[in-house]
Structure 1
């Protein structure tokens, strides 16, 4: 019922308009038709009289009589001709007038007498005018009644109930058909629009015309497409927001875990230093040898300082304000610089470093970060390889377009697959005793991970037949 309310409203309005219009037409005919007809009839009678008088002046009476007969028949009028004495010379009807016989041969009345007054006829047109013929000057009397239009008006009033029934039936039927025709596309569009309002975009509005309805259909279809696309974009944005929030929570959790581990890493050497200092203060047992324990405490402070520097470096990488200092770097020169700096550590363990690097290979990235990460990888390869082994460093053009690959392999060693899965976590060490003499702080590879992610570099560590392989894939430039 709600959807068809416009149909009923339009039906009622149209019906009232048609009925009112029909009533106005009827009242107009009833009140103004007699006056209009009377004026029209009067003008027609006057015009005919003028023409008849004009034509008769060139004719004798006998030849002019057909003009008078024709006028009388055409206008349903009565015509008389009489002389100055009032004697009727001619009458337009063929019957007797007050007992006087009419001559059919001449059309002139025999035994004529004075004219009877014609103004006795009710609601009629009467006129007396002189008329001239070739053989006489007479007076023309014309009398015409308006009675037929009065009778028509009366008949129209009697016919009103029948006209009203016909008008109501035709008006209501026409209004119903018209309202159905006009509102059908509106109801159809409204039904489809309601589905769109309920976020059901499975059906489109069929465009059935090129008028405003068609334009409205196209506009609603465009609105549906835009709304559907906006909802999809919003869903994607919400999904991305959820994903970002999950990542942020994960990062925050890792940050808390990281600082918890940092606190633990700092607490242990501080506790050791506190014990040493108390022993030296109270000169307990071996702590009387202050020089030895001062040296040990100094080494502990250096280790803690290095740990703090590494933590600060990690913190800088995680800051949103951190910006890369990009420049073109020749990889052959970079690797040569790193191996020269690490040559002392390699010579201590009699480890041979073998390089295969193309001199023309260059990348556009942050030199300080890349050098720090590569130095850390090569240093780990040296430190965790047995004496007399080899470290291979190979830099080649990757099969992937616009990328360069660096491979660092240290021989004579293997890493458990379980350790490889956790080796990039902060403070994770394969050597569980966490002795500083057998390993670092456990932040080295975590720093490498953070650095490579900042430089959009992919990396992996795997066991091979030769030993442990660290594979790095560097883009030629950072977009």
Structure 2
């Protein structure tokens, strides 16, 4: 289990958190809204009820002599509502909750002033000290005095505070309910996910939102299968390559070992010593060529030539140089070599370009007949931004069905003549890799008895 696994949030936890936050938000908002609505409705009804009580008290007092108003209030009206009788000049004549003599003049009170002008008034005043609201209802009597009723009310914040306990109980119940609900939702959501067949991702019937994930899994599986197939193919090629290298090296080693043993045991006539030494030398040279080709292929496989960087390479100059190096070999085979064309510069490795052209010309010489020829033409097409190299020989040709196989490692068209013609069987494999390294293409044009032409195309250097 990777360390990052412990940092991954669980689906049930995510659902629980999301649903709980939503539910708590809804409960709190709903509770505040409903409490506020209830409070405002209740207060409106309380105002109307207090105003009606004030009107009843006024009617009763108007029917009573003014001198008897105070005793009438004390006898007839009691309870939680506070009754105050105020003279026209603001003097408090009676108060059901306090000694009237201790109370100051009420002429400046808003409800008294409004009632004196309009006949009645209903007002609300807040006490910061007690954090309460007091509701007043005042009615002007026929004699000019004012009867005032008052009740202490809780403020909205205080009322909300009183509702805190039931809201908290509801929230606790909601947490428990959401916890159970989130577990159930998680199991229900995960049921089809747990049943997914990842071997065939696109055959699953699952949520639409998971389609991109399943498509990506399917693509990755196809890529992995392709990569596994390529790895298996590469492993088979490696085994074949190792087997072929071992076989190709075993033959010259046996020849060298055999002739060297004869010479060591003095079983060779003095006249034959030079002949045997020449055979040993030839086989050693064949082994050296094989080893050099194997090393070149290894570098190409590991992209070692990329470390050299891309430098301008003139293919015509390289072809001239290679032809000079192979002049003695061509003379020995009785094959003429000719370079035609003009300068064509590409970006790449000069070492690799020389190896590529060397192998093509050498093959044309090696698999040719006495009096034959090899012609290499180099040209640049500036309009197309392309350099073209053609190598034509007058050799025996290659059957059409073998055109692709000639680039395989250790492949020979005529295995019966491999000892006679020499070569490692790696030349054209190196050529193909070198062409690809230079972002080029290679094409074979050949038929039995009509010679062979290789056509190489490369992008011109900027």
Tell me, yes or no, if structure 1 residue 345 matches structure 2 residue 299. no
**1:367 alignment partner in structure 2:** 350
Tell me, yes or no, if structure 1 residue 272 matches structure 2 residue 226. no
Go from structure 1 to structure 2 and tell me whether the alpha carbon gap of 1:23 and 1:289 turns closer, same or farther (over 3 Å shift). closer
1-structure distance, mates of 2:87, 2:352: 130
Q: Give the Å deviation of 1:236.
A: 5.5
Q: Give the Å deviation of 1:379.
A: 1.8
**2:313 alignment partner in structure 1:** 329
Tell me, yes or no, if structure 1 residue 447 matches structure 2 residue 430. yes
SS in 2 for 1:477: coil
2-structure distance, mates of 1:298, 1:116: 148
User: After superposition, where does 1:283-302 map in structure 2 within 5 Å?
Assistant: 289-302=272-285
SS in 2 for 1:292: helix
Asked if the contact 1:422/1:428 (under 8 Å) is kept, the reply is yes
Please point out which of 399, 423, 443 is paired with 2:406.
423
Higher Cα Rg: structure 1 or 2?
1
Instruction: Deviation per CA, 1:200-250: give whole Å up to 9, x if none.
Output: 9xxxxxxxxxxxxxxxxxxxx9xx7xx977876776566555544543443
Asked if the contact 1:458/1:473 (under 8 Å) is kept, the reply is yes
2-structure distance, mates of 1:289, 1:319: 45
SS in 2 for 1:401: coil
Go from structure 1 to structure 2 and tell me whether the alpha carbon gap of 1:401 and 1:236 turns closer, same or farther (over 3 Å shift). farther
1-structure distance, mates of 2:361, 2:87: 141
2-structure distance, mates of 1:399, 1:236: 41
User: After superposition, where does 1:36-51 map in structure 2 within 5 Å?
Assistant: none
1-structure distance, mates of 2:326, 2:293: 19
Q: How much is the aligned-residue C-alpha RMSD, in angstroms?
A: 5.2
Go from structure 1 to structure 2 and tell me whether the alpha carbon gap of 1:443 and 1:36 turns closer, same or farther (over 3 Å shift). same
1-structure distance, mates of 2:429, 2:70: 137
Q: Give the Å deviation of 1:346.
A: 3.4
2-structure distance, mates of 1:117, 1:319: 115
Instruction: Deviation per CA, 1:272-314: give whole Å up to 9, x if none.
Output: 3333344445556889954433332232222212221222222
Tell me, yes or no, if structure 1 residue 77 matches structure 2 residue 62. yes
Q: Give the Å deviation of 1:436.
A: 3.3
Q: Give the Å deviation of 1:416.
A: 1.7
Instruction: Deviation per CA, 1:16-42: give whole Å up to 9, x if none.
Output: 778766775686578776656666888
Tell me, yes or no, if structure 1 residue 474 matches structure 2 residue 458. yes
**2:76 alignment partner in structure 1:** 122
SS in 2 for 1:254: helix
SS in 2 for 1:372: helix
**2:238 alignment partner in structure 1:** 255
2-structure distance, mates of 1:429, 1:126: 130
Q: Give the Å deviation of 1:10.
A: 9.6
* Stretch deviating more after TM superposition (293-302 or 452-461): 293-302
Go from structure 1 to structure 2 and tell me whether the alpha carbon gap of 1:302 and 1:396 turns closer, same or farther (over 3 Å shift). closer
User: After superposition, where does 1:16-55 map in structure 2 within 5 Å?
Assistant: none
2-structure distance, mates of 1:116, 1:363: 122
Tell me, yes or no, if structure 1 residue 393 matches structure 2 residue 376. yes
Go from structure 1 to structure 2 and tell me whether the alpha carbon gap of 1:29 and 1:450 turns closer, same or farther (over 3 Å shift). closer
SS in 1 for 2:439: coil
SS in 1 for 2:415: coil
SS in 2 for 1:388: coil
Would you say how many aligned residue pairs link Structure 1 and Structure 2? 336
Instruction: Deviation per CA, 1:329-357: give whole Å up to 9, x if none.
Output: 33332222222333333344444444431
Q: Give the Å deviation of 1:472.
A: 0.4
Asked if the contact 2:338/2:375 (under 8 Å) is kept, the reply is yes
Please point out which of 315, 320, 344 is paired with 2:298.
315
1-structure distance, mates of 2:26, 2:325: 97
Go from structure 1 to structure 2 and tell me whether the alpha carbon gap of 1:304 and 1:276 turns closer, same or farther (over 3 Å shift). same
Asked if the contact 1:402/1:475 (under 8 Å) is kept, the reply is yes
**2:340 alignment partner in structure 1:** 356
5+ residue gaps, structure 2? 1-14, 78-82, 90-141, 151-184, 202-207
Go from structure 1 to structure 2 and tell me whether the alpha carbon gap of 1:391 and 1:296 turns closer, same or farther (over 3 Å shift). closer
TM-score (norm. length: structure 2): 0.56
Instruction: Deviation per CA, 1:111-161: give whole Å up to 9, x if none.
Output: xxxx9998497339888999xxxxxxxxx97899999x9xxxxxxxxxxxx
User: After superposition, where does 1:57-206 map in structure 2 within 5 Å?
Assistant: 77-78=62-63, 119=72, 122-123=76-77
Go from structure 1 to structure 2 and tell me whether the alpha carbon gap of 1:402 and 1:38 turns closer, same or farther (over 3 Å shift). same
Go from structure 1 to structure 2 and tell me whether the alpha carbon gap of 1:244 and 1:475 turns closer, same or farther (over 3 Å shift). farther
Go from structure 1 to structure 2 and tell me whether the alpha carbon gap of 1:38 and 1:461 turns closer, same or farther (over 3 Å shift). same
1-structure distance, mates of 2:235, 2:346: 33
TM-score (norm. length: structure 1): 0.54
Asked if the contact 1:409/1:466 (under 8 Å) is kept, the reply is no
Q: Give the Å deviation of 1:469.
A: 0.9
Go from structure 1 to structure 2 and tell me whether the alpha carbon gap of 1:280 and 1:350 turns closer, same or farther (over 3 Å shift). closer
Asked if the contact 1:280/1:288 (under 8 Å) is kept, the reply is no
Q: Give the Å deviation of 1:452.
A: 1.9
Asked if the contact 1:461/1:469 (under 8 Å) is kept, the reply is yes
Go from structure 1 to structure 2 and tell me whether the alpha carbon gap of 1:39 and 1:283 turns closer, same or farther (over 3 Å shift). same
